[in-house]
Amino acid sequence: MSRGDAKSKKIVFYDSIKRHADLKIRLQYDGLSQANFFRGIVTGYLSQDKDVLNFVDKLKSSKKFGQSQNKKDVRESRVLIKKGKDISNKLSFGEDEIEDIFDLLEKANPDF
């Protein structure tokens, strides 16, 4: 994926100067770039990585990050995610097949 590529989107958000500096320091310590860090987190979230989802559950339960979900809703959401993974595994779609499906959807809905 290259910068400005027609098939890429830029993701931007604002935070405090201090948190940005702290992030840069932590990333440098861990040997990661901002892009690799955020792409890794997004990949973990989208692929429903168990560790990332555990953290997301904490976010969803926390009032600190806006609207919070109660623990029951978080558990129900986790059950639905697990059921979805089980169904996906039963259907056995590979990454190439999933990419083909998204390509077809994109052709059918170019404005999406």
34, 53, 66, 112 from 39: Cα distances, Å = 8, 15, 23, 22
Q: How many helices (H) and strands (E) does the chain have?
A: 5, 0
pLDDT per residue as tens digits for the range 44-64 = 999 989 899 889 888 887 766
Q: Which two tokens stand for residue 75?
A: 């558990």
E strand residue ranges, 1-112: none
* CA dist., res. 42 & res. 62, Å (int): 20
Which of 24-28, 101-105, 108-112 shows the lowest per-residue confidence on average (mean pLDDT)? 108-112
* CA dist., res. 51 & res. 56, Å (int): 9
Can you say whether the dihedral through the CA atoms of 54, 57, 62, 64 is positive or negative? Answer: positive
**Max Cα separation, the chain?**
47
- Whole-prediction pTM value? 0.57
pLDDT per residue as tens digits for the range 9-47 = 899 999 999 999 999 999 999 999 999 999 999 999 999
